[in-house]
Amino acid sequence: MSYQEEYRQKLTSAGEAVKAVQSGMWLDYGWCACTANALDKALAARMEELTDINIRGGILTRRPAIFDVPNAADHFAWNSWHMSGIERKAIQEGFAFYIPLRYSELPSLYRNCIKTLDVAMLQVAPMDEHGYFNFGPGGSHMKAVCECAKTVILEVNRNIPVCLGGFENCIHISDVDMIVEGENPPMETLGGAGEPSEVDLAVANLVVPEIPNGACLQLGIGSMPNAIGKMIAESDLKDLGVHSEMYVDAFVAMSEAGKITGACKPFDRYRQTYAFAAGSQKLYDFLNYNPECMAAPVDYVNDIHRVSQIDNFISINGAVDIDLFGQVSSESSGVHHISGAGGQQDFVMGAYLARGGKSFICCSSTVKDKKTGELHSRIRPTLVEGSVVTATRTNLQWLVTEYGKFNVKGKSVWERAEGLISIAHPKFREELIAEAEKMHIWRRSNKK
């Protein structure tokens, strides 16, 4: 039987495909911009007849149709590996929950720990002449998902870019149960790469001089990493490499400026390695059939031991709050959940262990309360009660705000307090000193 004939035999409608879903089942919805779409709408149409459905997914770039089912919590729970703002809102609506993890362990969680996965449904690029469907920019852990699922349903979308890679970036038609030709919606774009603020530029001006020629970069998403990437693109740096869990627009800007060659990487030379991608349409167009870019599973990309083998590895990530001991909270503010651990722990440690490597946690010195307009310091005496520690005080290396940068490695608690207060907003420094004194981590010899 030809692949085309097998395709025709497995082709069905979204409405027919979701009949495979029954009450009490566990489903997987895919990942980020490749989350199920037509299948989601079809499932939403019959969700009111179902109960006790559990769905895994993450980093939603659009609100799924099932979220708008009346009394959604009576029918399903959304279980997220990493939360976007859409999922954060769904927590307050009562049907979304976070799954704590290091992102690097996700494929092994599916293969070794998750005992039940009834149905996997995800968007993919059209089948090629060899019978393979590419996972597009949502690869990450999708191969492990499909291996574990009892039923695999693919939703074909002609607008999904084909992301080339080394391994686990596609699935063969022989491993697929049903195929749905979706509505071919455009790729969902992910915000956060707008024009950099003065604070973003100030932080970028402190970080970029720390990057040597031949460095290998890992960037998170947001205006601050975008500002750093833009500044690198306009700099004299050369022969940079990419090894990043997430591929963002800043890498496209650097590539177009000729700053990225990957020539100095010890492996995957001349290729930009990433686990998944999200951003603008320009980013998706850049990735499409681009042999320079290498999509690989997240347990390969985020592996601490692999990262530590890359000389001059530079990791740049954000944070919600940091306390005077050097504990970083990047997932929550108190019990208010925000995102997830992602790969921060892996890259902070991997970069530090690499020869010439540096990890930077970058954030603005303050945040404004949206309700009251009151300004709060992100550098706090202690984290807000209930806040999750993402990077421990023993792991942190460089912390950067618009007021300076400070390396906590090898520093005692009073040295840390002094250094971190020195890069806090001036409005809060005296208050922080007073709190540090109460906690016995401030020396009288320190300058006030």
Among the options 87, 155, 245, 402, which is catalytic? 245
Q: How far apart are CA 125 and CA 375, in angstroms?
A: 46
User: Any catalytic annotation for residue 245?
Assistant: yes
Closest CA to 86 of 66, 70, 110, 103: 66
Closest CA to 162 of 126, 210, 214: 126
Residue entry with tokens 């566990």 = 26
Q: What number of residues does the chain have?
A: 448
At 205, which amino acid appears?
N
- Which tokens go with 92? 């307050």
Radius of gyration from C-alpha coordinates of the chain: 23
Q: How far apart are CA 85 and CA 91, in angstroms?
A: 10
- Which tokens go with 279? 């951003």
| CB-neighbour burial class of residue 106 (10 A; exposed 0-12, middle 13-18, buried 19+) | buried
Q: How far apart are CA 423 and CA 363, in angstroms?
A: 11
Q: How far apart are CA 3 and CA 179, in angstroms?
A: 13
Question: Catalytic residue numbers?
Answer: 245
